[in-house]
Every structure is written in structure tokens, then in C-alpha cells.
Amino acid sequence: MKLRAKLGGVARELRGAVARGALKWKYREALRREEPAVVEDALGFRFVLYPYERPQALALLAREHDRALFQAMARLVRPGDVVFDVGAHMGEISVLAARLCGPQGKVFAFEPAPESCARFRENLPLNGCENIFLQPVAVCERTGAVTLNVFPAMYSAWSSLGRPVYAGADGVPVAASTPIEVAATTLDEFCAAQGIERIDFLKVDVEGYEHAVFAGAARLLGEWRVDAICFEISQVPLKGAGRTARDVFATLERAGYAAYRFDEETGRFEGPARDSEELWTNYFASWKDMRK
């Protein structure tokens, strides 16, 4: 098994290298230009690439870190499903979900950061998805106004209700955030207002405030009205929120949900897991046994 895992890792690295090389060749002119260009990543998401993103362009195009998530979603999201994308950033997960659930399904995408929300709107027509409904609000444990700490455009994925500090090798923060006031809602109140009785797939990536999203979904989770969940564990933003990975797992456990890791090599969910020391990864949870 160790040899198989090692060989599998080598194969993934080779596939990634090939993908990056092909994408670099395909978009060589776009990567050289100093103006925005429309590109398509390895997983079929079309987006506007801006000059400030050139240093990370190949990573954005190859999407190697998102492949396990996309593979798991392909197993979990079915035609006609209702999907929630909380912390939607510029729309890549929402677009995949929209394609998987089809025109009979719906995707509700939540993105409170103004610039990220604008980029989401810009990318929507490029992907031809008419079943995505963008909500420019934060999701947490209460409604009303909340403070969102927004990072510069190049680091916009770090924006959080917490105060994460991302430091370089020299210990100096890479970038500073700016506090702004945004509107917030809870999943329980949003679903009650919209007449939504069940969420088939819920993705949560809110930079350390995942526990708050789940706390604001106490009714939905307590009544097992959310079938499958994908949530991010990321240690730096968790620290900035004054929380731990265990806090997130415990919130779900109290509602009767078990968490699992998805093995990209075997295509299986493994667990249950009750804590994580990984710097960054995605977990999946359900009130059902996801190993079956």
C-alpha cells in the first residue's frame, strides 16, 4: 500500500506538471500581456485573469489543490439539487455546482467582500450558468452588520470575519487587511425567508469562521436538513478567529454529523475524523455514513 501511495503521488505530480506545461503554452500570450484576459482553468472554469495575478497564474489555471474537492462534489451533487456555496470568492465552486445540479437545481452563493463579489458577477456570464443566485452578504451565527477584514486584491481569498496574520519566512506579515462593515445573515434565517426546506450540498469556506456558519444553521443541522457538507480547515485563519479545528468538528458532532476525508486516489471517504492538525485541507460531513 505504501508503494502504491508513493507511485500514485508521483503520477499526480507528473499529471500536474503536464497540465501546467499545457496551460502555460495555451495561454502564453495572455500570461505575457499587461491587461486583463479571459482564460479557462483545467477544470473548465472561465474567468478574467488580472495583471496582479500573473505570479500565481499557473496555479490558478491548473487548480491542482481543488481537484479532490471537485472529484468529491461530482459524487455528491446530483441533478435538481439545492447547493449553498458560503464563501464563494470569484465563483469557481459555484459554477461546478451549477453544472452538476443542472437547470432543475439551484446554487445560492454567498460572498460579502465587495471586490470578490464584483469578480463573481464578472465571471458568471463567461460560464453560462443561469441557476446561480449571488448573495452579497456574510454568513455567520447572527444577522445584522458585521466587520469583515478585507485583504488586497492579490490576497482576496484571505478576507475574514477574524483577523488572520499571514507571515512570510522573515516573520513579517505579507499583507494587511482593512476592516469594512457588511451585512450578515444566518443559514436558518435565510432558508426560512426563502422557503428552502433542505440543502443537498453545503460548501463552507469562510477563513476560520466555519463554526459560526454552523452555529447559525442550528435548526437545519439539528433536523438533518443538510445532507452533505464540505468545510475547510485552515490553521492560520482559525487562529485569527480565536478558534481551533476541534471547535469546528465539535459543532457538527453536536448536531449528529460525522466528518470524513476524501481520498482522491481511491475515490472514497475515510473516517470519521474529529480533529485536524493539517495546515489546510477540506473535510466532508453528513448525518449519513459517507463511507458506504
Show me where the domains of the chain are located: 16-62, 64-286
| pLDDT tens digits, one per residue of 251-269 | 999 999 999 999 998 999 9
Give the closest residue to 69 by CA, choosing from 93, 51, 89, 90.
93
- Model confidence at 20: pLDDT above 80: no
What's the pLDDT at 4?
37
pTM: 0.91
Q: Which residue has the higher pLDDT, 140 or 67?
A: 140
Q: Give 291's contacts (C-beta < 8 A, 6+ positions apart).
A: 260, 268, 269, 270, 271
3 state DSSP class of 203: strand
| pLDDT tens digits, one per residue of 42-60 | 889 999 999 999 888 888 8
What's the pLDDT at 25?
62
Chain-centre distance for alpha carbon 210: 11
Vertex 253 angle, CA 252 and 255, to 5°: 70
Least confident of 26-35, 101-110, 176-185: 26-35
Give the closest residue to 216 by CA, choosing from 243, 244, 185, 194.
185
* CA distance linking residue 94 with residue 201, whole number of Å: 11
What's the pLDDT at 225?
98
Q: Give 257's contacts (C-beta < 8 A, 6+ positions apart).
A: 221, 229, 285, 286, 287
- Model confidence at 1: pLDDT above 70: no
Fold topology of 64-286:
Rossmann fold (3.40.50)
Helix-, strand-, coil-residue percentages of the chain, each rounded to 5: 40, 25, 35
Average pLDDT value over all residues in the chain: 91
